[in-house]
Amino acid sequence: MTKTIIAQLFTKIETDGEVAAFIDKANEYSYYQLGNDIVEVAQKINQKEVKKGPIIVYGVNDYRALSVFLGANLSGHAYVPIDAHSPLERVKLIVEACEPAAIIITIPEIDLALKALFENYSTLSLHDFDFKKKHDLTTVDISQAISGTQINYIIYTSGTTGVPKGVAVSHDNLLTFTDWMINDFVPINNNQILSQAPFSFDLSIFSLYPSLLSGGTLVALSREETLNFKVMFERLNRSVINTWISTPSFIDICLLDPSFTQENHSAMQQFIFCGEELTINTAQKLRQKFPAAVIWNTYGPTEATGAVTYTKITDEILKNYDRLPIGQAKSGVEIKIQDPETKAFLPQGGRGEIVITGNSVALGYYKNPEKTAEAFFEVDGISAYHTGDAGLIDESGQLRYFGRLDFQVKFNGFRIELQDIEAHLTAIEGVEKSIVLPDYTSDNKVRRLVAVVQGETNADERAFTKYLKQSLSERIMDYMMPSTFKYVDTFPLTQNGKIDRKAITDIILGK
């Protein structure tokens, strides 16, 4: 039997105790310290006699949150990361949907409204832990740790009705993903891996687990650093990074900096992308700036644990494709293409919905059997997931991606259901109807979100837009905020009485 994630991690803690597990702007945390802090967290959870079930970890993407995720795991609890930059309304929806066994707050302060919301749950804050205490790491009891098909984490994604859906990922889902990342990409000793994605976004697992289980070092960029380009480039330039993990949108920002080159980052060996389309333009620029590094395009939804397909972006691929392929399946996974109408699986070359089957498919949406039944199913007894992505497998066995079959988009790397924004927008007083349109660049990237509203603007559209933005900011994540608001007296309707998205797109965006 393969060892659990916690068992493997404690082996690393034993053999590589002095190695830095996590480096942020100001501090380095060794594997030894991480082991100590994990035990401290697990002990306090046990002392508090937290009932069975997931633990919400409310904080930011820092060392403390990571140590709490792992402490929760050691004590037999799944963790649910909630980013402290989330609006109160979203936190409320997640807490209600999840009904956590406990909430652990990993930032020093939270405001009164959150305190009131968390009051009804068993909570632990930073001052409940003694992170200076030394634990005996040779006798750690790992028998309660998460294993097998138990839920390892739940990540909440945008849901079409405005209520977030919690993707429940099992220990074995995460372990097979981690093994793949460690073994099938460029193997690097003492790997220094960029950790930049928020922990509430599943791109973060690309960095966290492969690094920790291979004795690597996480080089972490905080949100504050990434929001200030000068600070970010200064930090990047004094960091040694071997493996880069990000969305293509994030590398696009980095490519703007002239100092982001192979000469200044001679240790860089590979770039791994996921989460949205990697354009030829971005890949070409990167190849010019980093000729010695390998570029990987990987693909997968949160519901299939990070990613499930991968391909090396070679010069040949750049020459032969007009849209970059997303590769071949990792071991334990099979990709099928299904006809959306007849539900028949199509032979090679057939275009339809990408269906993922195998050991990466998550357990389903937590406490949401309805949504689970809509998207998760079985093929010959094997777990399967309807991605909602359009694709085909070409003659060289490469999976191709042609966008969505529904109203989900990727904007700056973030997954957004347009209907999620619409649900919150239409709930605002004075709004009768609304839709949100993605405006695409010629290489299929969303450049902005445009909200189209029918409502009581009282002829002052500017003031109404301000009011809408203010009301929306209390309900949706900042990355979901439309940048443009347009107003209509009535919406064009389709024959069956729904808003005609195509017609309104033509009118508003002139396409």
Q: Which residues bind ligand AMP (CB under 6 A)?
A: 157, 202, 274-278, 297, 299, 301-302, 326, 387, 389, 401, 404, 410, 415
* Integer CA distances (angstroms), 463 to 156, 222, 426, 433, in order: 33, 35, 17, 18
Give the nearest distance from C-beta 410 to ligand AMP in angstroms: 5
Please, which residue, 56 or 324, has the CB nearer to ligand AMP? 324
| Tokens, residue 162 | 């405005």
Q: How far apart are CA 77 and CA 145, in angstroms?
A: 8
Give the nearest distance from C-beta 388 to ligand AMP in angstroms: 6
Give the nearest distance from C-beta 198 to ligand AMP in angstroms: 11
Give the nearest distance from C-beta 136 to ligand AMP in angstroms: 40
Q: How far apart are CA 115 and CA 123, in angstroms?
A: 10
Give the nearest distance from C-beta 408 to ligand AMP in angstroms: 7
Q: How far apart are CA 312 and CA 323, in angstroms?
A: 14
Please, which residue, 29 or 177, has the CB nearer to ligand AMP? 177
- The DSSP code for 301 is -
Q: How far apart are CA 125 and CA 21, in angstroms?
A: 23
Give the nearest distance from C-beta 399 to ligand AMP in angstroms: 10
Beta-sheet pairing, 382-393 with 376-379: antiparallel
Give the nearest distance from C-beta 482 to ligand AMP in angstroms: 19
Please, which residue, 78 or 167, has the CB nearer to ligand AMP? 167
* Integer CA distances (angstroms), 261 to 245, 265, 268, in order: 16, 6, 9
Please, which residue, 3 or 312, has the CB nearer to ligand AMP? 312
Q: Which contacts (CB < 8 Å, 24+ apart) does range 260-268 have? A: 260/233, 260/236, 260/289, 261/289, 261/290, 262/289, 262/290, 262/291, 262/292, 262/293, 264/237, 265/236, 265/241, 265/290, 267/192, 267/240, 267/241, 267/242, 268/241, 268/242, 268/244, 268/292, 268/293
Give the nearest distance from C-beta 417 to ligand AMP in angstroms: 11
Beta bridge mates, 193: 218, 243
Give the nearest distance from C-beta 320 to ligand AMP in angstroms: 17
CB 166 within 8 A of CB 366: yes
CB 387 within 8 A of CB 403: no
Please, which residue, 124 or 274, has the CB nearer to ligand AMP? 274
Give the nearest distance from C-beta 235 to ligand AMP in angstroms: 25
Please, which residue, 351 or 404, has the CB nearer to ligand AMP? 404
Please, which residue, 290 or 296, has the CB nearer to ligand AMP? 296
Residue 454 zone, left/alpha/beta (φ > 0; ψ -120 to 50; rest): beta
Please, which residue, 67 or 157, has the CB nearer to ligand AMP? 157
DSSP E strands in 232-332: the ranges are: 243-246, 270-273, 294-299, 309-312, 328-329
Beta bridge mates, 165: 157
Please, which residue, 157 or 242, has the CB nearer to ligand AMP? 157
Burial class (CB in 10 A: 0-12, 13-18, 19+), 141: exposed
Please, which residue, 8 or 195, has the CB nearer to ligand AMP? 195
